[in-house]
Amino acid sequence: MTNLNLDEFTKASIAKGYDGVAVREWQANTVSELHTHEFSVHGLVAQGEMWLTRGDHTAHLKVGDTFTMEAETPHSERYGSEGTTYWAARKFPKI
C-alpha cells in the first residue's frame, strides 16, 4: 500500500516515462466488460475497491493497491458498492 497523493503519483509516473495521469471515477457496481486500451497503464486505487480480471486471474484491489498493464491487454473491471476512483498513469505508443 502507498500513501502518495495525486500530485506525487503524477510526478512519479511521469518520471517513469508515463505521459500523464487521468482520474477515473466509476459509479457503484459498474461493470466494464472485456476490452483493451491502446496505452499501457499503471493505476492506483484512491477510493473504493475494484476487481480487475486478466485471463483467468482476478485481482481484488483496495485503496492504496496498484496495478500495471501493457497496451492491448484484454481485461474486464468491476467496481465496488461505494463506487471507485483510481488514478491511471498512461503511456501511449510513440509514432
Query: Where exactly are the structural domains of the chain?
Result: 6-91
12-23 pLDDT, tens digit per residue, is 999 999 999 999
Return the CATH fold of 6-91: Jelly Rolls (2.60.120)
Which pLDDT band holds residue 4 (cuts at 50, 70, 90)?
A: confident
42-62 pLDDT, tens digit per residue, is 999 999 999 999 999 999 999
pTM above 0.85, yes or no: yes
Residue with cell 493505476: 43
Sheet architecture: strand order including 84-91: 20-26, 84-91, 40-47, 66-69
Q: Residues 6 or more apart from 75 whose CB is under 8 A from it?
A: 34, 35, 36, 52, 53, 54, 69
